[in-house]
Amino acid sequence: MTEYNETALAPATDGSKTDADLSASHARVPAAHEEDWFKPCAVIPVYNHERTLPEVVAVLLAEDLPCILVDDGSHPVAAKVIDALAAQPSVHLVRHAHNRGKGGAVVSGLREAARLGFSHALQVDADGQHDLSAVGRFLDRASQAPDAVVCGYPQFDASIPASRRYGRYLTQAWVWINTLSISIRDSMCGFRVYPLATTLALTDSVQMGSRMDFDSEILVRMHWQDQPMVWLPTRVRYPADGVSHFRLWQDNLLISAMHARLFFGMLVRAPGLIWRRLQG
């Protein structure tokens, strides 16, 4: 287990090792990937998903994919489950003392992935919605197009709530407006492979939404900088007993504010975006 906490600790002056020293001493890229240029891992933001998380981690480890768990301020019961999972080889832990939101958790996980020497990170939700049988297909595609973000566009079954389905249509329309393009097939599916170097360069250069607005905003901003994207279909389900942390009013307000910010950003970039379309 490698655990990295959000608070930086001062170096010890008495020759002993601090918690940060111990974490660094245990940090390593798993041997299966040490000689490869393509070094993927999974980043899993976790907030009170103690029931579904163990199966998600088990499936990913069975795919020989190291996991970085980001405990985003979970309650003690969930934290205990997370600690037990992080005691396994090839499972690393980042812990937030307070909830920062999905986007904040994802960015913390991406930074830890880069620190550990990985080249790419597969973002996976902890709630069991994603079809993990697609992991190999997504990673194979990422290895073939290492500069691209490999994004899932969801194939829903009948379990999706009507409010979520129609809300996605509205968000998607705004994404197309804010990119002057229909190339982003879906901006809300959190099942995607990020190339770490270019992704972190973007997140470090501009302040983005840290909650449910993150998944859409980062793809719009990647489109603005002409980031390659690959789209693969993936099944998504909403279990009847699933735990969702989507806050209907608060998160919809955040997403609306995000679209408004991006709209004005698009106006500034419109000549370049239109020129790119004409050249393409």
**Tens digit of each residue's pLDDT (9 = 90 or more) over 180-214:** 999 999 998 989 999 999 999 999 999 998 887 89
What three-state secondary structure class fits 85? helix
Strands (E), the chain: 2-5, 40-46, 67-72, 91-96, 120-123, 149-156, 192-195, 229-236
pLDDT at 163: 55
Name the least confident of 122-126, 137-141, 211-215: 211-215
Give the mean pLDDT of 151-169. Answer: 69
Q: How far is Cα 255 from Cα 26, in angstroms, rounded to an integer? A: 39
Q: How far is Cα 91 from Cα 82, in angstroms, rounded to an integer? A: 10
What is this structure's pTM? 0.80
All domains of the chain in start order, with CATH: 2-279 (3.90.550.10)
Number of CB atoms found within 10 A of residue 29's CB:
17
pLDDT at 240: 55
**Tens digit of each residue's pLDDT (9 = 90 or more) over 14-52:** 333 323 332 333 333 333 344 478 999 999 999 999 999
What three-state secondary structure class fits 95? strand
pLDDT at 165: 59
User: Is the pLDDT assigned to residue 1 strictly greater than 80?
Assistant: no
User: Is the pLDDT assigned to residue 94 strictly greater than 90?
Assistant: yes
